[in-house]
Chain A
Amino acid sequence: MKIIQIFKRYIKGHRISLSMSLALVIFLNYFRSLIPLFIGKAFAILDGNPDSSLPSFINAIFLGRDVAIQLLLVAIAIVVTALIRDTLNLFTDLFIANTSEGIGYNLQTDFYKRVGELPYSYLNQAETGDLIQRSISDINRVKRFIGGSLPQIFSSAIQILIYAGQMLLINLTYSSIVLITVPILFTIAVTYFRKMHYAFEDIEQKEGKLTTIVQENLTGIRVVKAFANEEYEINKFNNGMKAFLKSWDHLMNKMSSYWGFSDGYSYAVMLLGFALGIIFILNGDLVIGEAISLFLFVQNIIWPTRVLGRQIGELSRSDTAGKRIMEIIDIPTEFEKDDGTLTPKIEGSIEFRDVSFKFNDAKTPTIHNINLSIKAGETVALIGKTGSGKSTLVSMLNRMIDHTDGELLIDGIDIKQINKKYLRKNVGMVLQEPFLFSRSIAENIGVVRSTIDLNEIKSVAEIAAVRNDIEHFEKGFDTLVGERGVTLSGGQKQRIAIARTLLENYKILVFDDSLSAVDTETDLRIRRALAQRQNHSTTIIITHRVTTAMDADRIIVIENGSISEVGTHDELVRKEGLYRKIWSIQTQFSGPHNYIEEVIPHA
């Protein structure tokens, strides 16, 4: 059972709380079981046969007292017992909540942590992404199980056991006969809910389909209207509704039979308990007080049995969810393997020596035999077709992926020896499609900092040429990003991502095509502002713009995973090759500066 595994793994730190809940549930149910005994006692007193099934020290209190006083004592005892019982119950609920919420907390935070530390290659696969997305609802299901069903299973079982124990103590024969009905009902409930599995899934599926019909209709209302298909849509909806209602009816038909049956069963058990009680009384095997206590136990043992049966029967649904979560949690994180230990001071020189990279299941390497050395402070432009391996190459610089062959050195040190997080703190990387968090713009730019210095943020926004845009928003830097805030254009997102990277003084800066959605003039402005900064970082820019590449100290052309041309703009333009081809395309009309201006309609 995966769900038990999850429970064991995440109980950490809450074992005492768990033991307390267990102990309390036992005490609580013991006190709960005293009340039927006290009520029985009252009847025993009235019957003139004051012996009862209560512990002898309690019986001793009643001994030799006036009947009215005894009755009053019973009443007081009931209230006192109830007070103890309910106080215990309150504490039990507190400890149970504390335990289960604690487990939920451990599970959620661990899941979050591990997903965030999954290897880059995992996060890049669309399928895994989907799996992880779905696991959010699985986590909720497991949490509901641990917080709701598990405590119910636990306390119902204990209640049944203690009640059964009390009954057996009063009269072994009577109770053995009556209690046979408990495992029968339990088995029926478990079997029933196991079998109903499919009906629940079926109705969920039909409901999902209906929602899809509504959703697709509303998102595609333009298409519906343009084809004047309103009537057709209404029919489609009605059919979906019909199918849903059919499943619902089917489920309710079965459910109502079960509830009708189990309700009838409960009454039948009570009747059995009662009839048997009468027979036992008449035979002299039971006195009236005992019989009353037994009736009350019988009445109160059926409900927990039904609950227990249902919960156990539905266990497999939560277990499936648990299994999916554990599949993700069991993937080793990128820090669990292959992390380095060195934390050298980084100046910014980079050297590739025969570096190759091959994806796990690939036949041919994506990158092969790269030899390149970049001096600290140098600016290098990488240019190449899509899929030529540029991004893979730069992803090695912050160890998002590790090269599979050759040597990659930073300031002469093997990169695999360097601690990953340390390395990433020194290598700034701006992605082509950066992710912004749903917080304010200021918080997004200052995301690496613990406190926000607005002046500093404004100055980096200025360098990234996005300050003006931001200040035009109604709330300026406090504008929220995402669903509840403003929708940013691709270019704005890229510039905010640049600003956030500039906040740190990275010794190595990589722009992974991160100016692609920004127009040429702004691109130039950003690069000029960057050049003016005091600290000179080693800068690597992936671009497809000649205007961007030409300002670099060196241009490196990548083709099919290896370097095909290296040189300055002037050198490469004179040689026959890919760079020159691009150059001539981009300058054919009126020089390079005209290329891609603000007129591109979809930028």
Chain B
Amino acid sequence: MHEEFDEVDLNARINFKLWKRVLSYLKPYKKLIIIMMVAVISTALVETLFVKYISEDGLKRFVEQGNLDGFSLFLLGMLGFVLAEGIAVKVFIMASSRIEQKIYSLLTSEAFSHLQSLSYSFFDKYSVGWLISRTTNDTARLGEILSWGINDLIWSIFKLIFILIVMLTISPKLALIMLIVVPTITLVGVFFRKVIIRYSWKVRRLNAQVSGALNEGIMGAKTSKSLVLEEKNFHGFSQIVHKFRSASIRSSIYNSLYYQIIAVIAAFGIASMTYFGGMEVLIGPMESSVLFLFISYTTMFFEPVLGIARITNEMKHAQVAAERVFNIISVEPELIDRPEVLEKYGTYNAPKKDNWEALDGTVTFDHVSFGYNGGANLVLKDFSLDVERGKSVALVGETGAGKSTIVNLLCRFYEPTAGSIRIDGRDYKERSIAWLHANLGYVMQTPHLFSGTVKDNIAYGKLDATLEEVIEAAKAVNAHDFIMKLDHGYDSEVGEGGNRLSQGQRQLLSFARAIIANPKILVLDEATSSIDTETEYIIQQAIHHLLAGRTSFIIAHRLSTIVHSDLILVVKAGEVIERGTHEELMQVKGYYYKLYTNQFVENQMKELHFM
């Protein structure tokens, strides 16, 4: 559940260009819109006429004539209205909800697909929550306004028009009374809505705070116990809840006050109608049935007026939502293939695989530097490296030293700000991103699994994989045994984000996913989290299989992985400070030596189950 909400500048100007773009989304649904409009106008008409016939034809005619001649015919006609009302309501609800769905799904799909085309750097900048609120919440709001909002608006306008037409044709003088009441309501409406909306924002904000505090109280319960903070916490919590309570009560009162004022105005309208209308009847020639009609109309007049006031406010919210959705849709990807590359290799959703060369696996970093924001602060400085096909490179160093930058550049999540990266001797920008990614495997530090079955998750590396291939991949990384022990084997659900599996099991699945893709180049960001020695052993075996025969780059944390690498690079502050094999680096007795000995001790402690 999203607690997010937006506070909108209620005095914002109307952005016509934006609305033109929003309305363009309705174009393909002209038929549906017409159906909705016809249905909704019908309800307004039926509701107006129903009262008219009841009072004018029914009340007047039968009471005046003193008998029930023609009564059944009249009833039949009125039943027709009843039926028409029911059908029209059903139709406009269906039509509106269809339009809502179309707009929502169209915009959400467009935003979602567009996000897929954006470069990795974009996702570094914006949080998932931020993006979700734009791709789902804002689109939902737009869908709602463009369907129900428009629906309500049309109904309100037409109902007002119909009522006024009937009243004006019968008695312009009495119609005038109602026209005096309208502006008053509108003024009250505009004034109060602002106050009410402000208060309801405040209530929601405070409610989010209450939930947050409750959550913190639960998460921190153990700590609070040991520090005996129960009373203090309770006091703090009570204060927030108290604030929430006061704001809620105040909000209810403003809301109520608004409705009471409207109700008094309405009563004033009815009273005026009763008196002036009554006088007309008294003087004649107006009939008392007409008075009944006018009083009924007066009571019916307020809903559409309030409706129009409400919708104009909602439009302001919709405008903000639209701005946000279109902002996402208009973001340009930062990394794009050159036109001639796209020409030859195709785009990511229409690849020209026939033109793709096989990848061999030689990787060269040629004086590569990289810095964010166009290279202002370099996080990798003048880095050069030659890796033959099938060799493994271990990157070690502290967090933020530049290890991730090296692999991000290799994966072309980013491109070098200076220097070049060559694959099989050719600058990798000469071929498409999709080509590189199709030949490259990437295993994340914290394995990311998708909801679905074990099989789905392994086959993610090769979408057309057969079950045999999946099993083979699982066996290669020692995952087969644990998978078979799950309730439904390969068809077991892994849960949201893989939460039904242990950390180690998730790791193994992500290995299987990488191995089934059979990439020529593999990037492995090793997990740091501590796992028991047994799992550790299985994972080490799996990594061994995974790396065999591939050019690999490993952000390494575990000794056995590091020791077996063909080349070890120690990175510090964007530069390589030590480079060589394990034996060579141990001789140097520098940073690597220290790291190795510490880890060695830690491993032994772990073996004794001390850590």
Contact = CB atoms under 8 A, between A and B. Distances in A.
Contacts of A210: 136
B222 A120 contact: yes
Contacts of B437: 225-228
Interface of B: 1, 50, 54, 58-59, 62-63, 66-68, 71, 75, 78-79, 81-83, 85-91, 93-94, 97-98, 101, 105, 108-109, 112-113, 115-117, 120, 123, 128, 131-132, 135-136, 207, 210-230, 232-234, 237-238, 241-242, 244-245, 248-249, 252-253, 255-257, 259-261, 263-264, 266-268, 270-272, 274-275, 278-279, 281-282, 288, 291-292, 295, 348-349, 396-399, 411, 413, 434, 437-438, 440-442, 444, 448, 450-451, 460-461, 463, 496-497, 513, 517, 523, 528, 557, 591, 594-595, 597-602, 604-605, 608-611
A245 interface: yes
A136 interface: yes
B132 to A, nearest CB: 6
Interface string A561-603: 0000000000000000010011001101110001111011110
Given A39-B295, A424-B225, A79 B267 contact: yes
A535 interface: no
B256 A45 contact: no
Given A45-B278, A216-B451, A271-B75, A233 B217 contact: no
Contacts, number: 400
Q: How large is the interface on A (under 10, 10 to 19, 20 to 34, 35 or more residues)?
A: 35 or more
A94 B59 contact: no
B594 A268 contact: no
A263 B437 CA distance: 58
- A contact face: mostly helix, strand, loop, or mixed: helix
B605 A582 contact: yes
A90 to B, nearest CB: 5
Nearest to B214: A136
A452 B600 CA distance: 45
B598 A597 contact: yes
A295 B291 CA distance: 14
A72 B591 CA distance: 99
Given A112-B214, A263-B85, A596 B602 contact: yes
A437 B220 contact: yes
Contacts of B86: 260-261, 263-265, 267
Given A89-B256, A429-B226, A601-B397, 20 more contacts: A79-B268, A101-B249, A214-B132, A216-B451, A218-B123, A226-B440, A227-B517, A248-B97, A256-B94, A260-B88, A263-B85, A264-B82, A278-B71, A288-B288, A295-B292, A428-B226, A448-B232, A544-B605, A586-B601, A599-B591
Across the A-B interface, the 4 shortest Cβ-Cβ residue pairs: A264-B86, A260-B90, A82-B267, A226-B442
Given A90-B260, A116-B230, A226-B440, A260 B87 contact: yes
A316 B222 CA distance: 34
B234 A109 contact: yes
Given A228-B438, A278-B59, A602-B557, A94 B256 contact: yes
17 contacts: A39-B274, A74-B271, A89-B256, A96-B252, A116-B221, A217-B112, A222-B120, A231-B349, A256-B97, A263-B89, A385-B609, A400-B226, A424-B228, A448-B228, A586-B601, A596-B598, A601-B398
Contacts of A501: 227
A226 B411 contact: yes
- B contact face: mostly helix, strand, loop, or mixed: helix
B528 A133 contact: no
Interface stretch (A156-164, A234-242, A352-360): A234-242
A106 B398 CA distance: 50
A35 B97 CA distance: 38
Nearest to B609: A385
A129 B221 CA distance: 10
Contacts of B599: 600
Nearest to B90: A260
A93 interface: yes
A278 B63 contact: yes
A137 B1 contact: yes
Nearest to B438: A228
B245 A585 contact: no
